[in-house]
Amino acid sequence: MRGQRAPLFLLVPGLVALIFLVVPLITLLAQTPWEAFPKIISSPEALVALRLSIITSLAATGLAAVFGIPMAWLLAREVLPFTGLLRALVIVPLLLPPVVSGVALLEALGRRGLVGGFLYDNFDITFPFTTVGVVIATTFVAMPFLIITLEGGFRSLHQRYEDAAATLGASSKRIFFKVTMPMVAPAAVAGLVLCWARALGEFGATITFAGNFPGVTQTMPLAVYTALESDRSVAIALSLVLLVVSVGVLVALRGRYLQTRAS
Amino acid sequence: MNKIMRGLLAAALIVGLGALFPSASGAATKPSGELTVSAAASLTDVFPVIADAFQKRFPDTEIRFNFAGSSTLMNQVIAGAPVDVIATASEPTMQIGVDTSLVARPLLFAKNLLTIAVPAGNPADIKSLADLQRSGLLLGVCDTAAPCGAAASELFYKNKLDVTPVTRELDVRSLLGKVISGDLDAGIVYVTDVKAAGNKVEFVEIPITDNVLTTYPIAMVADTQSAELAQRFVNFVRFSTTSQGVLRAFGFAKPW
């Protein structure tokens, strides 16, 4: 593989793609107001947004784990009827423009929504404009990443290990936690990290469903977009923080998990 | 009235109109070409109607719009976006363009007032500005970077209101959408926005003395490739009776 000469018709467009993808990110670095950077990211507004982003993205990842891992297993083992259709439905939020997800969530869980209206009328519960609303929006958008990644993990697993455990008398719960999960750990970690990164970057569904208020629903991406309206250098500095996190995720995934699977 | 008198009157009218719009009758070059007009989000409904009237008068012209928040539009012009005309919902925002010589002399063409938008039926039973201070009320405003948000802050300050909004939407349309859907009890928006929404939303009037005025300047972008047409459109929006009539119909007040 290595040392192979790349034909020109692949080399040129390939390099164009590389330049196209990398140049804007380098420009972001070059445009970063380095002198003001420490002051901007340690400002109360930025710290509040960062804290909110971390809390909501971790909460969304937690929810995705609790409900998404079982769903991935159900899909992988095809225990439900119409598994193909179900898989497509579960993946829809991943392909949907996030704003559309936000609109759909408002229709379902808004104060006059189908489910939300019932909750508001009977229990005085509202989701929009609350931090819980942010978690709901980000979970909706991010959970499919975990499900499809992990479904692949469950599928590639040889079922004979589980069968062996079963013949030795282990309960299905014990098999799942002691045999199945440890074997899909790389896929689970990759899925969780992808899910978390997507949750951290969520913008459209959040602003549509949960609104934009500092400390309550204004996560980092919303703070970046809001700052863009008033102070560009603040927006660039906050963007850089998110860029660093994204690159960090990539490094973590490549170095520790994806490579072992490839080899 | 006899025939001659009527004829004279008609002639006088035509001459009068011609004097108002010399370009329409006697200009050597017929205006033609394309214009890209960047306009504040609150002009989304009214500007296409004005553009239709403009194109009816000058059939060889084509007008495209770019609607967004005023500061976004000015940032785009600063970044060199190929725009011919810019209309903002804020004089300070336009002044940035004037100070940097990016736009020509702006003309004020409309004014807008704030109002309290409430969902149909006014479920929170809001009657006055003071009601906005009620605890537990879901009040929405625009972000202070957007003109509607800056105006709302000024409104609260001017009337010494102690309010706690639950969201700062980035533009007035998304704010109004959340009022219409009933997810917010009230939102501070422009009169023109509730007019556009028709009967999907109700509003509680804010007395003129307590209100905050927003003025709309329009200007040609200095870098335009079609300066003549751009300035003609700017003048049309500000001076033509057609355009001003359309603006009134959409709820905008006179700028003078």
| pLDDT tens digit sequence for B118-146 | 999 999 999 999 999 999 899 999 998 77
Q: How far is the CA of A10 from the CAs of A5, A6, A17, A23, B179, in angstroms?
A: 11, 7, 11, 20, 53
Cα pseudo-dihedral B141, B144, B147, B152, rounded to 10:
50
CA distance B127 to A204: 34
B residues 148..177 contacting A (CB < 8 A): 165-170, 174
Neighbouring CB atoms inside 10 A of B205's CB total: 12
ipTM above 0.85, yes or no: no
Q: Please list every residue in chain A whose beta carbon sits closer than 8 Å to the beta carbon of residue B143.
A: 212, 226, 229
How much is the pLDDT for A263?
39
Q: What is the pLDDT of residue A5?
A: 84
- Which residues on chain B are in Cβ contact (under 8 Å) with A230? 71, 144-145
Q: Is the pLDDT of residue B10 over 60?
A: no
Q: Which residues contact A187 (CB under 8 A, 6 or more apart)?
A: A149, A150, A152, A153, A154, A156, A261
pLDDT of B11 > 60? The answer is no
Contacts of A225 in chain B (CB under 8 A): 170
Percent of chain A with pLDDT over 90: 53
Return the structure tokens found at B176.
Answer: 């109004």
- Judge: B145–A216 Cβ closer than 8 Å, yes or no: no
In the numeric block, which tokens belong to residue A100?
């559309």
Q: Is pLDDT larger for residue B40 or for residue B28?
A: B40
Nearest to B67 by CA among B113, B29, B36: B36
Question: Residue A112: which of B75, B174, B181 has the nearest Cβ?
Answer: B181
The DSSP symbol for B98 reads H
| pLDDT, greater one: A15 or B4 | A15
**pLDDT, greater one: A228 or B113:** B113
> Which segments of chain A does DSSP mark as H helices, in order?
8-31, 37-41, 44-77, 83-95, 98-109, 114-123, 131-155, 159-167, 172-175, 181-183, 185-201, 204-209, 220-230, 232-253, 259-262
* CA A246 to chain centroid: 11
Give A249-253 contacts, CB < 8 A, sequence gap 24+. Answer: A249/A193, A249/A194, A249/A196, A249/A197, A252/A193, A253/A190, A253/A193, A253/A194
Provide, as residue numbers in chain A, all residues whose Cβ is less than 8 Å from the Cβ of B166.
Answer: 129, 211, 213, 216
Considering chain A, what is the average pLDDT of its residues? Answer: 89
How far does B41 lie from chain A, in Å, by closest CA?
Answer: 14
pLDDT in tens, A143-199: 999 999 999 999 988 888 888 888 998 888 999 998 899 999 989 998 999 899 999
Contact yes or no for B165 and A213 at CB 8 A: yes
- Res. B245 pLDDT band, cuts 50 70 90: very high
Whole-prediction pTM value? 0.73
- Residues of chain B with C-beta less than 8 angstroms from the C-beta of A121: none
CB contact under 8 A, B143 and A110: no
pLDDT in tens, A82-130: 999 999 999 899 899 999 999 999 999 998 889 988 999 899 888 999 9
Closest CB to B170: pick one of A111, A212, A216: A212
Nearest by CB to B69, which of A110, A128, A229?
A: A229
Contact between A110 and B138 using a beta-carbon 8 Å cutoff? no
**Model confidence band, residue B173 (pLDDT cutoffs 50, 70, 90):** confident
If you ran DSSP here, which 8-state letter would residue B58 be given?
A: S
Nearest chain A Cα distance for residue B171, angstroms: 10
Mean pLDDT of chain B: 87
List of chain B residues whose C-beta atoms are within 8 Å of the C-beta of residue A128: 178, 183
CA A49 to chain B, closest CA, distance in angstroms equals 14
